[in-house]
Amino acid sequence: AELKQLVRRLPKTELHLHIEGSLEPDMVFALAERNGISLPYASAAELAQKYDFENLQSFLDLYYQATDVLQTEEDFFDLTWAYLQRCAAENVVHVEIFFDPQSHTDRGIPFAEVVQGIDRALQQAQSELAISSQLIMCFLRHLPEDSALETWQQAQPWLHLIHGVGLDSSESGFPPELFQRVFAQARAAGLKCVAHAGEEGPADYIEQALDLLAVDRIDHGVRITESDTLMRRVAIEGIALTVCPLSNVRLCVYDQLADHPLLSLLDDGLQVMINSDDPAYFGGYLCANYDAVIDALAPNQAQIVQLVKNSFAASFMPEVEKLARL
Ligand code: HPA
Ligand code: ZN
């Protein structure tokens, strides 16, 4: 209980958060009503009952379906603002937010509506909640690289609002090597690069993300435990892994949180930290993830402090602000 209090007192960052994954069942219903969309569920409670996933794909199927209620700039603002208010309540002072433009533009929502709504909430959070933020545009890896390249073109007028690019969606069978051209363009434009790798996919995908996409951080990355060589390399190079404990259990990467390698990775010197991934679907926001780790893995206080420190060290905050926090 003392450690859980400490977690709440400490300022924290969140570096792995899909804004569409913060869409709560209640908001799905509210937005469906506002936009005149009929849902195949009678209530938010009935929808929430479907959140019983077998793997990444069974989650993604529901997740993309729920995003259909997001239509206007105001919807994207409301979604993002709700998440940022949660951050304020949990003392999360800096966030790096993923969004999936293709899941909106592919159903006719203009890129501008999406990015402007999200950005307006981020600006308001800076001024009203003192929360700093960066926006990371993810490419959907189940779609061809040409679609990612087209999205990269659509993003050009908005690059002043976008700090990085990422890679997400179905991992197995969609290796990082398929996206070398679009990542090269993003890097040449000065954006940070990250990729989901080693969540369901093999450790080799982590290596590909580093060697072929030149990523600055790996999202998830837990299957790195399958390669001692890669573990040593990632530790030496100081590559961070944005770990998401509740997500890994809900998507059956591990049977139970007690089996999770978070603390052994930390003790091996890897730069890991705790994140919530898709909190509306996986059982809670950042503090809930810390609480679950405390209950299942019994970290000591030094380990908790190191996880929180890593969340700042691995962030893309300006170095000067980072130093002030460490
Ligand atoms: N993995 C891949 N794609 C995703 C995830 C995830 O955990 N969450 C939202 N899109
Ligand atoms: Zn993710």
Residue 307 lies in a domain: yes
- CATH number of the domain residue 244 falls in: 3.20.20.140
Q: Which ligand is nearest to the CA of 21?
A: 1
219, 201 Cβ separation under 8 angstroms: no
Active site members: 199
Spacing, Cα 285 to ligand 2 middle (Å): 13
Residue 231 lies in a domain: yes
Query: Is 104 a known ligand-binding residue?
Result: no
DSSP letters for 195-248: EEESSSS-HHHHHHHHHHS--SEEEE-GGGGG-HHHHHHHHHHT-EEEE-HHHH
The ligand 1 atom at the shortest distance from the C-alpha of residue 169 is 3
Query: Is 18 a known ligand-binding residue?
Result: yes
Q: 3-state DSSP helix/strand/coil percent for the chain, to nearest 5?
A: 55, 15, 30
The ligand 1 atom at the shortest distance from the C-alpha of residue 200 is 1
Measure the CA–CA gap between 314 and 39, rounded to whole angstroms. 40
Cα pseudo-dihedral 224, 225, 227, 233, rounded to 10: 60
Measure the CA–CA gap between 258 and 261, rounded to whole angstroms. 9
> Which pLDDT tens digit goes with each residue over 236-253?
999 999 999 999 999 999
Question: Which residues sit opposite 242 in a β-bridge?
Answer: 219, 273
Residue 326 lies in a domain: no
Ligand 1 binding pocket (C-beta < 6 A) is 18, 21, 56, 168-169, 196, 199, 247, 277-278
pLDDT attached to residue 300 = 98
Spacing, Cα 16 to ligand 1 middle (Å): 10
Residue 325 lies in a domain: no
Q: Which ligand is nearest to the CA of 59?
A: 1
Q: Which ligand is nearest to the CA of 247?
A: 1
269, 246 Cβ separation under 8 angstroms: no
Mutate to test the pocket of ligand 1, among 277, 281, 282, 289 (most ligand atoms within 8 A of CB): 277
The ligand 1 atom at the shortest distance from the C-alpha of residue 168 is 3
Residue 324 lies in a domain: no
Alpha helices in 40-144 (DSSP H): 44-48, 56-66, 73-89, 102-105, 111-129
Give the domain extent around 200: 2-317
Residue 322 lies in a domain: no
Residue 58 lies in a domain: yes
Average pLDDT over residues 126-155: 98
> Which pLDDT tens digit goes with each residue over 69-105?
999 999 999 999 999 999 999 999 999 999 999 999 9
> Complex ipTM above 0.90?
yes
pLDDT attached to residue 325 = 80
Residue 323 lies in a domain: no
Spacing, Cα 160 to ligand 1 middle (Å): 25
Count how many domains the chain has. 1
Q: Which residues surround ligand 2, an ion (CB under 5 A)?
A: 277
pTM score: 0.98
Average pLDDT over residues 272-284: 98
Spacing, Cα 50 to ligand 2 middle (Å): 19
Measure the CA–CA gap between 84 and 90, rounded to whole angstroms. 10
